[in-house]
Structure 1
Amino acid sequence: MQVLAALCFLVLAHLPLLRGEVVGSFQDIPQCLDFFYEGKVPEWGAATPGAARLCQRFQNRYHFATLYDTLHRIAVYSAYRFQTGNDPTRNDWCIEPQLVDRSWNAGMEEEKDLITEHKGVYFGERQALEEDYINSNYDRGHLNPKQHQSGDSRQATFTLTNVVPQTPNLNQKAWVTYEHQLTKLFIAQCAQAYVLVGAIPSNNTWIGERVNIPDYIWNAYCCLDNNGRPIGSGGATVRNTGGTRVKRHTLSELKLLLGQYTKSPVEELFHNNCEA
């Protein structure tokens, strides 16, 4: 019996911790680091007041990672690996239960289901809710876009912790066009692509004094060959004011711009700046 108990202890000691989506560090969940090239999490954004680190979990699997600003109730960025597919989605929006209570379910859930489970509890203290976007004249603009994912990962993008308010003209025209251009680039040239997409909050523009309307949307990517070696990188920025022109940048240019916008120095967005 003692031998059996000792064996059980050893097995349990080497199992990964069964922790929820809201983590103290992305390093707490090894699977979460898979969405960052070589496991390198950007230091930029880490000091955001009220930041929450979300290992986005759906159907008992992790699909991407999000650094979430609970004070502005928008994502700082989402990090993901590109996939391609045309799987159907239900467009049912989820929220993060553990931003309400850390003891709740570790996976994203639809708000209507949480209402049934937790009557009388307000869910929006630290995150945006569907009611914030209704009649707001702003779209729920994906950072990790559905067209860059497949299977359950595609459905997992429909969480309000992965969106920011975008003007319809930007979300439905200029930015989605840029996302489609990236899709073609990744399919044609990359064996694998790591992507970061984020938002720069505005100083004083809000939806109902609850959800910040960002000034800029930005994107950065790192393209790898079949041997996992970097072969290309780039990024883009666009104003979130009905912007029709997405400006493309090198990673070096993008880092300078992010530093200027946020008055915070930017070191590496990707391991070794996505250089071989």
Structure 2
Amino acid sequence: MKTHYDTVLRKMGTLVGLCTFLSLLCCVCADVVERFEDAPGCLEFFYREKVPDWGSSTPNAARICQRFVNRYHFATLYDTKHRIAVYSAYYFQPSNGGGREKRWFVEPQLVDSSWQAEMKDGYWLGQDHPGVYLGENQALNEDYTYSGFDRGHLNPNGHHPVPSRNATFTLTNVIPQNPKLNQNSWRIYESQLTDLFLDTCSKAYVLVGAIPSADNWIIKNDVKRVNIPQRIWNAWCCVDNNGQPVQSGAGSANNTEEDFVEEMSLDEMGEHLQQFSNQPVGELFYNNCRP
């Protein structure tokens, strides 16, 4: 015969199970995670689910699974000190048009970890939380206003269809980019990659990152707000229908009016990045995208 004590235990067990389920659900939904490996839906943006060591020792870095319309679209390792991304990781998808997003999103969980797990227009997030400063750990749209720099995408909107295209308009995927570079040689380089990926790859995995400058900032009200990177770089791994590598490459440019992209191999990119780090760069892709 079941006693009242048995019934209580059963209900407690159910409650514990429910709490565990809700805890796991919240973990899955979280935008900012301790490790990309903790979010399987976020790992798919890395070739063979290998997260590069590059940037992993960045102090106070945030790992963002970029969530928009309730699903992930790419991953970003974000430097909250310099308020620019170390890199964004994504896989190429043919664009279906859709134009440019008029909103600029911010990451709510970089303000408060208990806030919503989806990027939101910075203006409306401010309306939801009046009196709360949103820019302690991230750049805001007003930081770029009249700065003389473009809001330069790392993960480019032209490498995605809607709604992934819209999701790239988050300020955690943006750096202060020299307008001449952004609108000329880097734009052309991205367009050339589009043609290459469409012609050659069944799937292309891409990393796009920035190297912070020693002391060059967008300054607002005498406060150093957003670091102006000295370089922008890109690395990619192209695979066939069986997931086997068929081609790879990389490119890098000074973030100046020099307006020139230097293309190189992945091995050369590793050597290039090593100039800016005291830590070993390691492989940017699994087996450096070799068969």
What's the TM-score bracket when you normalise by the shorter of the two chains? over 0.9
Q: How does 1:140-179 map to 2 (within 5 A)?
A: 140-179=151-190
Q: How does 1:96-107 map to 2 (within 5 A)?
A: 96-107=107-118
Aligned residues: 275
CA distance in 1, matches of 2:200, 2:263: 18
Name the SS for the 1:18 alignment partner.
helix
Shift in Å, 1:18: 3.3
Shift in Å, 1:13: 8.9
Q: Deviations over 1:85-113 (max 9, x none)?
A: 12334331000000000000100000111
Q: Deviations over 1:97-142 (max 9, x none)?
A: 0000000010000011111110000000000001110000000000
Q: In the alignment, which residue of structure 2 is the partner of 1:227?
A: 242
User: Contact 1:82–1:149 at 8 Å: present in 2 too?
Assistant: yes
Letter in 2 for 1:94: F
Match of 1:137 among 148, 152, 173: 148
Q: In the alignment, which residue of structure 2 is the partner of 1:35?
A: 45
* Runs of 4+ residues deviating >6 angstroms: none
2:36 is the counterpart of 1:26: yes
Match of 1:198 among 200, 209, 216: 209
CA distance in 2, matches of 1:267, 1:149: 28
CA distance in 2, matches of 1:14, 1:49: 27
Q: Which moved more, 1:40-49 or 1:18-27?
A: 18-27
2:98 is the counterpart of 1:83: no
CA distance in 2, matches of 1:167, 1:13: 45
Gaps of 5+ in 1: none
Q: In the alignment, which residue of structure 2 is the partner of 1:58?
A: 68
CA distance in 2, matches of 1:262, 1:172: 29
2:251 is the counterpart of 1:236: yes
Shift in Å, 1:58: 0.4
User: Contact 1:200–1:262 at 8 Å: present in 2 too?
Assistant: no
Q: In the alignment, which residue of structure 2 is the partner of 1:128?
A: 139
Letter in 2 for 1:73: R
CA distance in 1, matches of 2:60, 2:47: 25
Give aligned-pair identity as a percent: 55
Name the SS for the 1:98 alignment partner.
helix
User: Contact 1:174–1:243 at 8 Å: present in 2 too?
Assistant: no
Shift in Å, 1:50: 1.4
Shift in Å, 1:244: 1.6
CA distance in 1, matches of 2:279, 2:253: 19
Shift in Å, 1:28: 1.2
Match of 1:254 among 265, 269, 276: 269
Name the SS for the 1:233 alignment partner.
strand
Gaps of 5+ in 2: 1-6
Question: What's the RMSD between the two structures over aligned residues?
Answer: 2.0
Q: TM-score, normalised by structure 2?
A: 0.90
Q: TM-score, normalised by structure 1?
A: 0.95
